[in-house]
Amino acid sequence: MEAIILSAGKGTRIKGFQDSTPKPLLKFKKKSLLIRHIEKLRAAGFSKIHINISSYTDKIQAYLEQELDDLENIEIHHEGDEPLETAGGIINIIPKIKKSSFSVINSDILTEFDFKELTKLSAYNYLVLVSNPSWKNNSDYGISAQGLIIKQNKKYTFSGISVLDKSLFEGFLPGKRSLTEIFDRAIDNQVLKGFVTHSLWFDMGTPERFTEAENHIND
């Protein structure tokens, strides 16, 4: 299976915290979020890792060349000065992905979830969900008795980890586009399932979340 690490955001939520550092390169206990994801995906047996970047393109490219001994299974996709947003970035990469099913990871999360689990979910479209965190007022989704993602009985938050099929993006033109639009259509068509994990998970979008994660994750 191949994976996409979404890394093209401008990091506006975390502005003021390590300002000169691109968000994917923010370090948690001396190791960047991006390197953590790459190591976990490689350990899980992913054959190729695609990384989309927009802001700080040269800095991220140079960092990967410096930190990784082998870039053979990593492909960098440059979006230009303006990010294509989440779905737009994926649509831009899809032609380079060999098989129909692939995984997507947001670069600004930290989790102990085992990415090997993703390779077991390739027969369908899955969003990995977590129980709604205390800092988030509203949950994103519920899950039906059949395991489908629904917009009722909301108990869970989307973790930023998913297994998706290329067919979900059919009919959507390249350009700026959010994953919410793709997910909404998939939910209406009943082709999106939820996989709940109880592994530690943090959205690293603010300095406060970094502090919280430091109190819970030792690695």
Residue 131 lies in a domain: yes
Tokens 């969003």 found at: 127
* Residue 61 covered by a domain: yes
Find, among 187, 205, 182, the residue nearest to 133 by Cα.
Answer: 205
Report the pLDDT value the prediction gives residue 210, as an integer from 0 to 100. 78
Supply the pLDDT for residue 11. Answer: 53
Residue 164 belongs to domain with CATH number:
3.90.550.10
Query: pLDDT tens, 111-145?
Result: 999 999 999 998 899 999 999 988 888 999 999 99
Indicate whether 200 belongs to any domain: yes
- Tokens representing 179 are 């994953």
Instruction: Give the pLDDT score at 216.
Output: 77
> Considering the domain boundaries, does residue 18 fall inside one?
yes
* Residue 182 token pair: 């793709």
pLDDT value at position 123? 87
Rounded to the nearest 10°, the torsion over CA 45, 30, 28, 92 is -50
Domain limits at 153?
A: 2-214
85 part of a folded domain: yes
Residue 219 within a domain: no
pTM for this prediction: 0.93
Residues of the chain with pLDDT under 70: 10-20
- Is the residue at 121 inside a domain? yes
**123 inside domain:** yes
Give the total number of structural domains in the chain.
Answer: 1
* Closest by CA position to 156, among listed 137, 130, 133: 130
